[in-house]
Amino acid sequence: MRAALTVEKRVAIAIWKLTTPDCYRSVANQFGVGKSTVGIVLMQVCKAINRILLRRTVTPGNVQDIVAGFEQMGFPNCGGAIDGTHIPILAPPHLASEYINRKGYFSMVLQALVDHRGRFIDINAGWPGKVHDARIFRNTALFRKIQSGTFF
């Protein structure tokens, strides 16, 4: 039985995979682990980052300051800038067709709202690449808060 991977090695594997175009097999060879271990470690580290750090990096900010900042940039009555991006993934074998995006590759969608300084106000990630941006937005806590008048 193999010894458990250290936290340092897990983080190194995740950072390597997230910052290089290397395939899972290449990363596995680089760190002397199995290909499936790379996938498991990547998910564990990303979930930990999300759980621990996201609350510290995504903050609502002062609405008046944000609106004033956008106003100075020529965007009156603007409370944030929103966009989405497709993050390439290996398709899950049981739902591959759901993850093919309009550009023809497997992806997961990340949608983010930033303030006038480019700081994150809201992040939503995990939707399959096939799903349209508008549908994703309509199903977020951000949309519900805006609709109910509690976000701004």
* Residue 52 domain flag: yes
* Residue 1 domain flag: no
Question: Do 11 and 26 fall into the same domain?
Answer: yes
Question: Do 16 and 65 fall into the same domain?
Answer: no
Model confidence over 17-28: pLDDT tens digits? Answer: 988 888 899 999
Question: Do 127 and 66 fall into the same domain?
Answer: yes
* Last residue within a domain, chosen from 56, 74, 95: 56
- Is residue 7 very low, low, confident or very high in pLDDT (cuts 50, 70, 90)? very high
Distance separating alpha carbons of residues 74 and 68, to the nearest angstrom: 10
Distances (CA, A) of 27 to 8, 9, 23, 40: 15, 12, 6, 13
Query: Is the dihedral angle over the CA atoms 94, 95, 97, 102 positive or is it negative?
Result: negative
Question: Do 48 and 107 fall into the same domain?
Answer: no
Task: Give the per-residue pLDDT at 55.
Answer: 66
13: pLDDT strictly greater than 90? yes
Asked if residues 142 and 122 have their Cβ atoms less than 8 Å apart, the reply is yes
Report, as an integer, the average pLDDT of 58-62.
74
Question: Do 70 and 15 fall into the same domain?
Answer: no
* Residue 2 domain flag: no
Q: What is the mean pLDDT of the chain?
A: 89
- Is residue 80 very low, low, confident or very high in pLDDT (cuts 50, 70, 90)? very high
Question: Do 74 and 109 fall into the same domain?
Answer: yes
Instruction: Domain count for the chain, please give it.
Output: 2
User: For residue 115, which of 146, 70, 84 has the smallest C-alpha distance?
Assistant: 70
Distance separating alpha carbons of residues 103 and 113, to the nearest angstrom: 23
139: pLDDT strictly greater than 80? yes
Q: Is 92 helix (H, G, I), strand (E, B) or coil?
A: coil
Report, as an integer, the average pLDDT of 67-96.
91
Distance separating alpha carbons of residues 66 and 119, to the nearest angstrom: 10
Task: Give the per-residue pLDDT at 2.
Answer: 73
56: pLDDT strictly greater than 90? no
The domain in which residue 23 lies consists of 7-56
Higher pLDDT, 95 or 116: 116
The winner for highest mean pLDDT among 1-5, 66-70, 96-100 is 66-70
User: Rounded to two decimals, what is the model's pTM?
Assistant: 0.65
Question: Do 81 and 49 fall into the same domain?
Answer: no
92: pLDDT strictly greater than 80? no
Asked if residues 122 and 137 have their Cβ atoms less than 8 Å apart, the reply is no
